[in-house]
Amino acid sequence: MGNLGVPSMLLLSLIAAAFANNFHQDVEITWGGRHARILGGGNLLSLTMDKTSGGAGFKSNRDYLFGRFNMQMKLVAGNSAGTVTTFYLSSEGPSHDEIDLEFLGNKSGSPYTLHTNVFTQGQGGREEGFHLWFDPTKHFHTYSIVWNPRNIILLVDNIPIRVFSNEESIGVPYPNKQRMKVYASLWDADDWATRGGRVKTDWSKAPFVAYYRNFVAKSDWGVQGLNARGKKLLSWVRERYRIYYYCNDLKRNQHHGNGRRRPPECKAEASIGGHAADAEGSI
């Protein structure tokens, strides 16, 4: 199944190119100053990290309540240990909602880790981690967040890697009331990012540079969940590339007061994301 994503990747790239906005118009540089640069007439944005800056970041000018958010990214090449490159949604305030895609760097030749999390009303602890089936530093790849009233779906080149479903009916908070903006950043996190902080940033390899292009934010998310093919692809990713799943971390569950019980939303694993399948409008 290793080639299943290629046609979808190309299709999504074409869609992104057709509807891409302009970074000059659509985002604000939030920190890093000259280490965040908009290039190519607004079509490309680079973030640079060196010892003088510690990184840089930007956010969208608009906020959203639900939508589909695509970003093409090319990650820091070479020895990227200690770096974190991000693309995420977040509201503001102590009880914020957040949907995270964080790319944790590693030594040359070792795989990146894609770390994902969902925060609701200021509470996270819903991490899933993945390795990717390609080198994310060689070419641009498309990373997507679909957020609608029923599901949060995270995709890589239009292949779903994670579904977090609305399980409010069993008491699980779901982010559906606070508007969120799109954020992105490159920063130094060598206290935890690579092998739990055991591998530090090698500043002799600086500057570290990540690239973003074809940012598309559409309030019309277009889909509610996964179709049969989407569920098959999700299973493929889980079986081959998922390296951490909070529902199976018994020590963490005990720390959060759950004893050896899984959080209530974890029962949806067997059905590939609970409400993730819909007859009308699906991936």
Active-site amino acid positions: 98, 102
Question: SS3 sequence, 177-244?
Answer: CCCEEEEEEEEECCCCCCHHHCCCCCHHHCCEEEEEEEEEEECCCCCCEECHHHHHHHHHHHHHCEEE
Q: CB–CB of 39/45 below 8 Å?
A: yes
HSE of 114, CA atoms in CB hemisphere, 13 A: 23
List, in sequence order, every residue forming a beta bridge with 169; answer none if it has no partner: none
Q: For residues 272 and 231, is the Cβ–Cβ distance under 8 A?
A: yes
Tokens matching residue 79: 């020895």
